[in-house]
C-alpha cells in the first residue's frame, strides 16, 4: 500500500488481512520450494491455483476496503467540519422580552 494513498489509521484497519496474506504466501513458498515427491505439472498447477486465486482476491479486496474506509472517513470529516461551520456562522437567537418583564422563558410556568 502506498503511503500517500492511505493514512496510518487505514493501514492499521487493514492489518487484519496481513495474517491470511502471510499464510497464503507461506503456502506458495512451501509448495514451490519444497517438493518431496517431485513436480507433476497438473497437481502442482491445481494446488498453486487453489492458493494464488484467494491470495489475489484478498489483495484486491483489501485495496477496495481501504478505499472505502478512506472515503467514509473523508465523508465523516466533511460532515463534522460542515456542522462546525454552520454552528459558527449561525447568529445566536435573540431573547425577546415579554410584557410581564420576564425574559420569555417557558410559557407553562406561572409567575411567582
In a domain, 60, yes or no: yes
Instruction: Compute the mean pLDDT over every residue in the chain, rounded to the nearest whole number.
Output: 79
* Percent with pLDDT over 90 in the chain: 24
pLDDT digits (tens, 9 = 90+) for 30-65: 988 988 778 888 988 999 999 999 999 999 999 898
In a domain, 99, yes or no: no
Q: Give the Cα separation of 27 and 68 in Å (integer).
A: 29
Q: How many domains does the chain have?
A: 1
pLDDT digits (tens, 9 = 90+) for 66-85: 888 888 888 888 888 776 66
Domain, as residue range, for 29: 8-89
Half-sphere exposure of 17 (CA within 13 A, CB side): 19
In a domain, 62, yes or no: yes
In a domain, 110, yes or no: no
In a domain, 84, yes or no: yes
In a domain, 15, yes or no: yes
Question: What's residue 87's pLDDT?
Answer: 57
Amino acid at each position: 500500500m502506498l503511503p500517500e494513498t492511505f493514512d496510518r489509521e487505514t493501514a492499521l484497519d487493514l492489518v487484519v488481512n496481513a495474517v491470511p496474506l502471510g499464510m497464503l504466501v507461506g503456502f506458495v513458498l512451501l509448495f514451490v520450494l519444497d517438493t518431496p515427491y517431485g513436480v507433476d505439472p497438473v497437481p502442482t498447477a491445481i494446488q498453486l491455483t487453489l492458493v494464488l486465486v484467494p491470495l489475489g482476491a484478498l489483495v484486491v479486496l483489501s485495496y477496495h476496503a481501504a478505499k472505502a474506509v478512506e472515503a467514509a472517513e473523508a465523508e465523516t470529516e466533511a460532515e463534522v467540519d460542515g456542522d462546525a461551520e454552520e454552528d459558527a456562522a449561525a447568529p445566536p437567537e435573540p431573547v425577546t422580552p415579554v410584557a410581564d418583564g420576564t425574559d420569555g422563558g417557558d410559557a407553562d410556568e406561572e409567575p411567582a
